[in-house]
């Protein structure tokens, strides 16, 4: 294979064959395609895109660069959920046990926080003892026993994606819809699932800031999944303000537990019913979306979802502390008075990052006890002298000043409430 010829063809808007894409991905993994040629092709793809056949071939080649789980010996359907990342998005934590409690298995492989967004894995690791690095045998045992297992990406799943992603990260080719989509789907399709619900975030706290970009990503993900023979639904959901009221790691587990006790914030509950209801439809245990939503509401109310979560935590070696397990000392932020007209979710995420709730570099340690709490959300009225946010007090006063400023600036208050925004923007089935 002449790699320069492939680069030039893609650069000029041509199409690569499945064989060519397969050989390229193997070449990158085996090392005979040098990084500089891979980088040039990735940048050409950034500008020219990939058509459906190319996308399928790229996803397939990355998927088959490693192990593909076969979960057919575990009874029942397996359905996962994937979110493109947001601020305060702890949905996976309570959604997976709720869906499992309704009879659909959730073999969930999650990632870490990226930039201003949190990661399910980091949140789970805030639970003392919780082990996200299960080997395949233990993963199957946990999944078989409680209907869900919550683990991290292993080196054996889609290793070519890992290598290409590392190269994209240092060559300015991360923000390409087809490359993002193939990367996500190669890992999800390696999970041995029957169905997948995608939660594509849109707004100030999402990677996709506009509905157009988010829709493009949602459709691309959806098409790859369908082409691979899976049942797929894609939700476009609002990430123009953080989900729930807490941002951090231990605090988000805490807030997810509240949902499982039937005491969740309205936006958290609504999104859980929507995504969970759809997962039940794809898993074949609900005849309709409405029925699916009802069943999820029931297991959130009757304690069965909570029991599943407790059982999963126990099987994965964790234990929820009985005493307060996140920072108590805190600071308060004022931002004037009036109706909250806008919350810059990315700024809130960056504030949490500055407190140590996330990583600025891969090798950073995170502080599971750090947090931000929103005292006012969109449309709520802030009285004079009241606060818009609290945050855990950092050791360094300079950090405190920075976080205070970020949070103050994240809020826009005005004399009237903003027009209400739908949480679910669009569904692609």
- Where in the sequence numbering do the catalytic residues fall? 82, 161, 168, 183, 187
Neighbours of 30 (CB within 10 A): 10
Residue 331 host element (H or E): strand 330-333
Q: Compute, in degrees rounded to 10, the torsion defined by CA atoms 256, 87, 58, 427.
A: 70
**Residue 340 in contact with a copy of itself, rule: CB under 8 A:** no
For residue 46, state whether it binds a copy of itself (rule: CB under 8 A): yes
Q: Are 427 and 233 in contact (CB under 8 A)?
A: yes
- CA dihedral 217→223→228→231, nearest 10 degrees, is 100
State how far the Cα of 412 lies from the Cα of 410, in Å rounded to an integer. 7
User: Is residue 39 part of the contact set for a copy of itself (CB under 8 A)?
Assistant: yes
Can you read off the two tokens belonging to residue 232? 């797929």
Specify the residue, 29 or 110, whose C-beta has the smaller distance to a copy of itself. Answer: 29
* Identity of the residue, 20 or 194, whose beta carbon is nearer to a copy of itself in the bound complex: 20
**Beta strands in 174-283, from DSSP E residues, in sequence order:** 195-202, 231-238, 246-248
CB 140 within 8 Å of CB 191:
no
| 208 forms part of the interface with a copy of itself (CB under 8 A) | no
Q: For a copy of itself, which stretch binds (CB under 8 A), given 1-9, 227-235, 308-316, 342-350?
A: 1-9
170 binds a copy of itself (CB under 8 A): yes
Nearer to a copy of itself, 311 or 359 (CB): 359
Nearest 5°: the CA angle 270, 273, 279 is 140
Q: Pick the binder of a copy of itself from 18, 74, 114, 167 (CB under 8 A).
A: 167
Smallest Cα–Cα separation from 361: which of 113, 17, 82, 34?
A: 113
Backbone angles phi, psi at 54, to 5 degrees: -65, -45
Q: Find the binder of a copy of itself among 1, 4, 401, 409 (CB under 8 A).
A: 4
Applying CB under 8 A, among 13, 15, 19, 34 the residue interacting with a copy of itself is 34
Binding status of residue 412 toward a copy of itself by CB under 8 A = no
**Segment interacting with a copy of itself, rule: CB under 8 A, options 165-173, 188-196, 232-240, 260-268:** 165-173
Distance of closest approach, residue 53 Cβ to a copy of itself, in angstroms: 21
DSSP SS3 for 261: coil
Residue 270 makes contact with a copy of itself by CB under 8 A: no
> Backbone phi, then psi, for 82, in 5-degree steps?
-130, 130
Q: Is 13 in the site for a copy of itself (CB under 8 A)?
A: no
Count of chain residues binding a copy of itself (CB under 8 A)? 25
Q: Does residue 42 touch a copy of itself according to CB under 8 A?
A: yes
* Using rule CB under 8 A, residue 38 touches a copy of itself: yes
Burial class (CB in 10 A: 0-12, 13-18, 19+), 427: middle
Rounded Cα–Cα distance for residues 102 and 187 (Å): 25
Q: Does 7 bind a copy of itself (CB under 8 A)?
A: yes
Among 67, 74, 171, 325, which residue sits at the site for a copy of itself (rule: CB under 8 A)? 171
User: With respect to a copy of itself, which residue has the nearer C-beta, 34 or 301?
Assistant: 34
Q: Where on the chain is the footprint of a copy of itself (CB under 8 A)?
A: 3-4, 7-8, 11, 34-44, 46-47, 167, 169-173, 175
């Amino acid at each position: 294979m002449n790699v320069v010829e492939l680069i030039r063809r893609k650069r000029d808007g041509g199409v690569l064959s499945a064989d060519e894409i397969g050989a390229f991905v193997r070449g990158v993994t085996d090392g005979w395609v040098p990084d500089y040629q891979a980088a040039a092709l990735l940048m050409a793809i950034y500008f020219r895109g990939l058509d459906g056949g190319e996308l399928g071939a790229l996803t397939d080649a990355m998927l088959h660069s490693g192990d593909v789980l076969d979960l057919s010996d575990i009874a029942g359907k397996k359905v996962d959920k994937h979110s493109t990342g947001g601020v305060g998005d702890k949905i996976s934590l309570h959604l997976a046990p709720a869906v499992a409690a309704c009879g659909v298995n959730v073999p969930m492989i999650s990632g870490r926080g990226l930039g201003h967004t949190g990661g399910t894995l980091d949140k789970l690791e805030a639970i003392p003892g919780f082990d996200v690095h299960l080997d395949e045998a233990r993963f199957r045992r946990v999944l078989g026993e409680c209907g869900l297992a919550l683990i991290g990406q292993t080196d054996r799943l889609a290793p070519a994606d890992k290598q290409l992603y590392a190269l994209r990260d240092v060559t300015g080719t991360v923000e390409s819809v087809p490359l993002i989509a193939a990367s996500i789907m190669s890992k999800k399709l390696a999970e041995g699932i029957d169905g997948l619900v995608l939660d594509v975030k849109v707004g100030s706290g999402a990677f996709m800031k506009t509905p157009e970009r988010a829709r493009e990503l949602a459709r691309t993900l959806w098409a790859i999944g369908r082409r691979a023979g899976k049942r797929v639904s894609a939700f476009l959901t609002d990430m123009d303000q953080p989900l729930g009221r807490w941002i951090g790691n231990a605090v988000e587990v805490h807030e997810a537990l509240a949902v499982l006790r039937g005491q969740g914030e309205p936006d958290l509950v609504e999104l859980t019913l929507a995504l969970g209801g759809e997962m039940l439809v794809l898993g074949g245990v609900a005849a309709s979306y409405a029925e699916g939503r009802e069943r999820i509401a029931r297991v959130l109310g009757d304690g069965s979802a909570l029991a599943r979560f407790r059982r999963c935590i126990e099987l994965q070696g964790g234990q929820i502390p009985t005493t307060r397990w996140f920072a108590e000392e805190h600071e308060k932020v004022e931002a004037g008075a009036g109706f909250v007209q806008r919350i810059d979710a990315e700024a809130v995420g960056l504030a949490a990052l500055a407190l140590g709730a996330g990583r600025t570099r891969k090798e950073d340690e995170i502080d599971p006890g750090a947090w931000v709490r929103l005292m006012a959300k969109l449309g709520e009225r802030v009285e004079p002298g009241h606060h818009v946010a609290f945050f855990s007090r950092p050791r360094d006063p300079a950090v405190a000043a920075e976080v205070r400023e970020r949070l103050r600036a994240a809020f826009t208050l005005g004399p009237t409430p903003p027009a209400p925004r739908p949480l679910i923007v669009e569904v692609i089935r």
